Structure 1
Amino acid sequence: MEYEELKTYSLKKQGAVEDYPFGPETLVIKVSNKMFALISEGQEYSSVSLKCDPFLAEILREKYKAVTGGYHLNKRHWNTILLDDSIPDEEILEMVDQSYQLVFNSLKKADKQKILNS
């Protein structure tokens, strides 16, 4: 999975916006001002940090060497995935979908309605 492909896919989520609150190295994609993806371009490989159900987060870390606890994030709820082609693209996109849905579900009802009506 390439950086641009992941960026494009993530920004297609309803209400998704890009931001650079941590500097130009890390693209943060938010929904209603809450992060659901942090994408960084690396020298050899890019990486993405995604919110994840804690139980599933552990399973993914055991299944893939490229998945570790969230870098500079709550490791119980976030995974960082090295985009080294060791994980099928479809699975990475599914992780993006899950991250978005977890964050969207945590929004206030009014914020959800605003996004759904836009």
Structure 2
Amino acid sequence: MEYELWRGLALGMPGAYEDFPFGEGAAVFKVAGKDRSRAKMFGLLSHRFGLVSLNLKCHPVLAEQLRAANPQITPGYHMNKKHWNTVVPGLAEELMSDLIEDSYDLVVASLPRIEQAALDWNGLVERG
């Protein structure tokens, strides 16, 4: 259930798309404006050994706070542990949506301005 929910939240971000560079068991969520060659990853959703997990980029200070407050959030598996978290099922849908949006925003902020403009990004994803 979480797999499809998290996948839908990630793909709902403007300019987001799914790629499988590591095989069918790991969906990589990338964002790009007009130029997919400049795309950057903002999430990695995996389903291994019957377990679902989602790696998301996070500001280092917030990452520490989230890990301390939620046992479902740990340092990023196979990622830079300072900037990435791994999340497993058990968090509220609203918190997961916020975490995905934060990861997306951090990554889009690092894209060239022309790519940001193509996404109509002005600092934060607007929530409806």
* TM-score, length basis structure 2: 0.84
Displacement after TM superposition at 1:2 (Å): 1.2
What CA deviation, in whole Å up to 9, does each residue of 1:66-108 have, x standing for no partner?
A: 111111111000000011x2x2111111100100011011111
Matched pairs, number: 115
1:15-94 matches, within 5 Å, as: 15-32=15-32, 33-83=39-89, 85=90, 87-94=91-98
TM superposition shift of 1:114 = 2.1
- What is the deviation of 1:116? 2.5
**1:102 to 2:106 alignment:** yes
1:10 corresponds to 2:22: no
Which amino acid in structure 1 is aligned with residue 14 of structure 2? Q
Unmatched 5+ stretches in structure 2: 33-38, 122-128
Supply the AA of the counterpart residue of 1:49.
N
Runs of at least 5 residues in structure 1 that lack an aligned partner in the other structure: none
Structure 2 CA distance for aligned equivalents of residues 40 and 50 of structure 1 = 12
Q: How far has the Cα of 1:41 moved from its partner? A: 1.7
| Cα distance in 2 between the residues matched to 1:108 and 1:71 | 28
Which one-letter code corresponds to 1:62 in the other structure?
A
Supply the RMSD in Å over aligned alpha carbons.
1.5
